[in-house]
Structure 1
Amino acid sequence: MSSPRPTHVLIIGYVWPEPRSSAAGGHMMQIIESFLQAGWHITFSSPAGVGEHKADLAALGINEVCIELNNSSFDAFVSELAPDIVLFDRFMMEEQFGWRVEKHCPNALRVLETSDLQSLRDARQQQLKAHLKRNPEQDDISALFAPTPEQTYAHMADADLAQREIAAIYRSDLNVMISEYEIDLLTEQFHVPDALLHWCPLMVDSVPTEFVPFEQRQHFLSIGNFRHAPNWDAVLWMKTHIWPLIRQQLPDAQLHIYGAYTPPKATALHNPKQGFHVLNWAEDALAVMSNARICMAPLRFGAGIKGKIADAMLCGTPNVTTPIGAEGMHGDWPWPGAIEHSASAIADTAVQLYQNPQAWRQAQQHGQALLKARYLQSTHGPALVQRIKDCLAELEQHRRNNFTGVMLRHHQHKSTQYMSQWIEAKNRV
């Protein structure tokens, strides 16, 4: 008697995962590892070009397939593969390929890995731009960090990006959410049913108990992919407002800034005389984080949760951030560092933590406790797998309960299908 066919997952990636370049790439690899531990077979596909820091998926036994946008070759590919589960990496992939999956694999569970709510990030970016236009030199931007959920919804709801993203969430059978804040926003303001959402934050295998001690560490550190707009904005804010204030108090202080895909506009900020070092991509991000004394994460806009801060906790490195940086990360647990609202407060607190071994070690301990409480892979990996299994077992009823999603798929996918077929026909000419 033949053994049953193993569960087969098709992942449609917006990009090929780069776990050492971005938190999104790291989270994707953590999800993949959870699937592999469940004994599932994985095929990873993407229409994107291969980046220079791409993970070696083949070494994990994962089949890699290049696919094309607006090309019916995908139809034959997905029909032959016949996956049990299709995971879309960000909502744009659901828009592009969702109707094809539904047409050729109607019984496949459709899962959307949101990474973060891009429409939330975009709305906050627009608010920041408007604020800075009105108040270019204002130090305290507390008002941007404390809107009510209703105000946040009002800023998002009329935007095309929000309407597209929330529609993709409704159309999917299950949505992997990295931030509890975003789950609350979706359920309370956009009225997305709880049954469509699953919390799965960044995950760590274990929590270290020993770190490089305070006395052996030096320098401030900032790290993040420069292609991610919030990271670039944070670097500019440090350059123009925060770092000069730190140097006034610590004239010999050094800030080391690492980031994948460093553009010329970033390297132009490199100034050793000011202690401001732009050092491109870190070959081993955890190594440089482990030797830094303070992680700087002054994010003025963004969404999701922050990989740099999770890495800082993993390395025992206290961080100084904003409410945006801390959002969705700590629940009721003490913060492993400080959360501030202005450039001056960020600078003052960073200097205090840098010089105070007792406060520094307490922040480090808070990070250890937080990782154990909220980020263990042994908790979240199996929980995600089980949630997917439960949805598969009740798929027909699960979809029937989501009539809004059924309705949106009917109308949006028809229009997307015709547009895609028109583009494909045009490309043949």
Structure 2
Amino acid sequence: MRNPLSKTITTIEPSGIRKFFDIVSEMDDAISLGVGEPDFDTPWHIRDEGIYSLEKGRTFYTSNAGLKELKIEISRYLDRRFGLSYDYNKEMLVTVGGSEAIDIAMRAMLDPQDEVLIPQPSYVSYVPCCVLANGTPVPIELKAENEFRLTAEELEAAITPKTKLLVMPFPNNPTGAVMEKKDLEAVAEVVKKHDLFVLSDEIYAELTYLDNHVSIASIPGMRERTIVINGFSKSHAMTGWRLGYACGPEVIIKQMLKIHQFAIMCAPTTSQYAAVEALRNGDEDVAMMREEYNGRRRYVLERFKEMGLSCFEPFGAFYAFPCIKDLGMTSDEFATKLLQTKKVAVVPGTAFGACGEGFLRISYAYSLDDLRIALDRVAEFVTEIREIKN
């Protein structure tokens, strides 16, 4: 019988995040710090708008590119929050989560053997989406001593004549790293020098703990060569609503829309109406959740300090990335034994690229009570490992 599978898909490994999530879901009394999902319910006024849209019978397709009212609100939101201006009718596409936007952006932009520079550690989908789009992923190793920021020198060193696209995954999952304006300006000069394009994943833009997030698309000369990806999952606790969007040059968005049109048709109608409400009246919700995450962030960092685990201070998203290199275990060994003996799930850093070895991703998108219990168990585990070593 002929092999029914694509050679390309069989080379792609399953997500390293889901592996531990699936195990912990079958384990009694286990606590997971592994999933990057807000523990808050979607605010009631947003849910109400979704319910109302159903009651009004708004159950039909919207236009392929998205509900006009939503695109107008996205345009207003990006302008007032990040100083980005987009024509909602030509430069914007509403997608099924930010993940679909990443996928179709790469498929619209890449030809076979085009190289895509992917700073790592970073979100697990970039490399598979690049491979599925027939591109060639080229990792750039981010360093803890640089606070896991991408430097212009690192970018310059990775560019070849085949380089076409740079992924900018900031604020970063899994490290929590952010890029400040001066960092982006330096990177932008290299991008323009080599005539590259940028896919800027800004899904955590609202979860920054310094000043407001800065988009690389706002740097002079970058708007015309950048696709901005964003959505509602992290900022408004709307993961299950599956709603994101992409903004960028009309010439690229037009081709992304073509793929979206044939593969998806349109994003969920109910979710789009709920998102209109989120953008019109959800700023206080976002601020409240951000402040709560910030308190948890400080707590988690203090606990790692008490354990003697080095962890640079993350200023974005809701993750910490502690280093375990001095414990004499690989990231996968640590995560596996921690789950087996203490019933706490974390994600090994290698799930986000080979350079994540020696690190763990800890999500603090959980209640303080759960964090206390889980980190007490982690502390016990670390103490036991050190006693065995000594």
TM norm. shorter chain > 0.5: no
Please tell me whether Structure 1 or Structure 2 has the larger radius of gyration of its CA atoms. 1
Q: TM-score if structure 2 supplies the norm length?
A: 0.28
With a CA cutoff of 8 Å and minimum separation of 6, indicate the structure with the bigger relative contact order. 2
